[in-house]
Amino acid sequence: MAAPAIGTELRVKIGGEAGFGIKAAGQMLARSFAAAGLEIFDLSEYPSLIRGGHNTYTLRVSQRPILSHVESVDILVALNSETAERHVGELVPGGAVIFDPADGAQGWAEGRDVLPVAVPLADIAKQAGGVIMRNTVALGAVLALVGFPPEFLADALHAQFAHKAAAIAESNVAAASAGYDHVRAAAPDFWLRIEPVPHAPRRLLVDGNEAIGLGALAAGIGLYAAYPMTPASSLLHFMAAHDRSDKLVVKHTEDEIAAMNMVVGAAFTGTRAMCASAGGGFALMVEAFGMAGVSESAVVVGVFTRPGPATGLPTWTEQSDLRYIIHAAQGEFPRVVLAPGDRTDAFDLTWKAFNLADALQTPVVILGDSYLSDNRETVPYLDLDAITVERGKLVAEGDMAEHPEALGADGRYLRYKLADDGVSWRALPGVTGALQIVNSYEHDEYGYGQLGEIAYERATQNEKRMRKLELARRLVPPPAYFGAPPGDADVSLLVFGTTKGPAREALRWLADDGVSVALMQVVTVWPFPAEEVAAFLAASKRAMIVEGNYTGQLQGLVRQYCLRDVDATFHRYDGRPFSPERIYAHVREVIGDE
């Protein structure tokens, strides 16, 4: 069996029952490849069960930058027979299946162009110290098939179990080595070959919630409050692991309402504060979210979406909360909604969100999804030099007499003084002369709720707050562009959020076919960048929107604010993320035989 060229991209899928350590094993394999200078993108898929159910972890490895997962698989690691039966059809022709012959008959291989690789996973694991290490044995077998040095996996195993007894790490290394040796003895020719990249620049392997957490820490967050809800829970875990080292308060609150109220209170003291949840948890925050709007509180809120309605599909992904986030809460008030497309975006937009919240004195939402939160990719080291801390119109100490622009004709501090840009001066507790009233009522310039019921006061305060949207348009991140200019492209794609990665990957494949594509990523989805989107569409020969919902929520914003439509759409709403293969095929269908 001849080996393909060194450097071939590798796609590995590991599957089995929850409790088999599917994700933990896959991430150790990912760290092994990343430590060797290779690029990584992974995808975890699992039902909302604590134990049982079918789990998979898919790992894509390459020597060149990669931007998303793909559907095809080179090596399938079947930790039970169900995995082989479900996923053998995803293998490339000649793809390998690592399986334990003790799991039963291999009917899944009949009539298929696959390479069965029988490895007695359970027996080898028992000899190494316990059947629980079946997954580790399988990792060694994977490396043997592709001729990858096993010492990278050994290092990853030692790091994984560094906090436990040394014997545990050694047993796992022994299990991996035994799996490696078994396959090398049975299959002396490499099935596929992938090698380390010497002197590759260092990369981070992070998921979206880790990137958001790092962005919040870089911004100087002082309070993170949350009630755990998938897929936001891991951000709470991340922040809790850094509370002492980074000197912040992390609160696991009794519910989501408490989390939102707590960050509003923290913002009043000048603390940079954030909470996060999924769409269902955010529904419980909405009343307090409105209080953040009327009290003009500088808060950051993460909403990481999954399919609904109600509980929906707790562990899967979708982009169907876009309109909900833009309009959530009673009444009208300005907010900014940022939609990161990848982990670098997640870091950058998070620290920028804190600056925007301070500059505008209004809530800023980071709109993500499970595809962003749960899955990891290698990214360049984050650009810490680019980070700035901008607090806006803030008086943190001293005497308000030194800021006459914030005072009324009577010399008293006006917390909600009418301002041309909609942003009043904010004074922290303890500043001399900064007496203020902050609550959930409409109010006058001083903050008195009873006077806020006067028609004039209501109208002028409402108009003042809404003027912040015009300032926001000048401050928020603009759309991002990839591929060809729209006027030169055969087709133009418009996306938001995590559709970015699969779409950019599809652009490469289309370019190889001679199809030129322009891509616009709407980074700030609110205030909606109507002028930029309209110009992009006007310059396009043929335009298409790709979004993960049924009703075309991004398309609706285009129709409403740009007064035009696109030529084609592509929606997905089955709980799975877009793949480059599907976007590629849909674009080819749209352009026909051209």
Strands, sheet with 10-17, edge to edge from the N-terminal-most edge strand: 114-118, 91-99, 73-78, 10-17, 54-62, 39-45, 376-380, 203-207
Q: Are residues 453 and 485 in the same domain?
A: no
Q: What is the pLDDT along the chain (594 residues), one digit of tens a residue?
A: 333 344 579 999 999 998 888 999 999 999 999 999 999 999 999 998 877 899 999 999 999 999 999 999 999 999 999 999 999 999 999 999 999 999 988 889 898 999 999 999 999 999 998 889 999 999 999 999 999 999 999 999 999 888 888 889 999 999 999 999 999 988 766 667 889 999 999 899 999 999 999 999 999 999 999 999 999 999 999 999 999 999 999 999 999 999 999 999 999 999 999 999 999 999 999 999 999 999 999 999 999 999 999 999 999 999 999 999 999 999 999 999 999 999 999 999 999 999 999 999 999 999 999 999 999 999 999 999 999 999 999 999 999 999 999 999 999 999 999 999 999 999 999 999 999 999 999 999 999 988 889 999 999 999 999 999 999 999 999 999 999 999 999 999 999 999 999 999 999 999 999 999 999 999 999 999 999 999 999 999 999 999 999 999 999 999 999 999 999 999 999 999 999 999 999 999 999 865
Q: Does residue 193 form part of some domain?
A: no
**Same domain assignment for residues 451 and 506:** no
Specify whether 486 is located in the same domain as 450. no
State how far Cα 478 lies from the chain centre.
Answer: 19
Q: Are 254 and 305 in contact (CB under 8 A)?
A: no
Quick one: which H or E segment has residue 425?
none
What is residue 105's predicted lDDT score, i.e. its pLDDT? 80
Q: DSSP letter string over 55-123?
A: EEEEEEEESS---S--S-EEEEEESSHHHHHHHGGGEEEEEEEEE-GGG---GGGTTS-EEEEE--HHH
Q: Is 22 part of a structural domain of the chain?
A: yes
517 and 417 assigned to the same domain: no
What is the residue range of 449's domain? 394-473
- Under 8 Å between Cβ of 93 and 57: no
488 and 469 both lie in a single domain: no
- Angle 500-512/580-591 helices, nearest 10 degrees? 60
pLDDT recorded at residue 190: 66
State how far the Cα of 308 lies from the Cα of 305, in Å rounded to an integer.
9
Residues 169 and 313 in one domain: no
pLDDT (0 to 100) of residue 594: 59
398: region left, alpha or beta (phi > 0 left; psi from -120 to 50 alpha): left
Model pLDDT, residue 1: 30
Task: Bin 247: left if φ > 0, else alpha if -120 < ψ < 50, else beta.
Answer: left
CATH of the domain at 218: 3.40.50.970
DSSP state of 399: B
In a domain, 200, yes or no: no
Whether residues 276 and 408 fall in one domain: no
Tell whether 199 is covered by a domain: no
Contact in structure between 412 and 400 (CB atoms under 8 Å): no
Q: Hey, CA dihedral for 181, 183, 187, 191, is it positive or negative?
A: negative
Are 212 and 176 within one domain? no
Last residue of a domain, one of 473, 503, 521: 473
- The number of distinct structural domains making up the chain is 4
Whether residue 497 contacts residue 368, with contact meaning beta carbons closer than 8 Å, is answered with: yes
170, 292: one domain? no
Q: Does any domain span residue 195?
A: no
Would 71 be classed as within a structural domain?
Answer: yes
CATH code for the domain in which residue 563 is found: 3.40.50.920
Same domain membership, residue 322 and residue 239: yes
Whether residue 69 is contained in a domain is answered as yes
In a domain, 98, yes or no: yes
Whole-number Å distance between alpha carbons of 302 and 343: 14
The pLDDT of residue 188: 61
Asked whether the beta carbons of 503 and 530 are under 8 A apart, the reply is no
Query: What's the pLDDT score for residue 4?
Result: 38
Does 467 lie in the same domain as 491? no
User: Do 124 and 40 reside in the same domain of the chain?
Assistant: yes
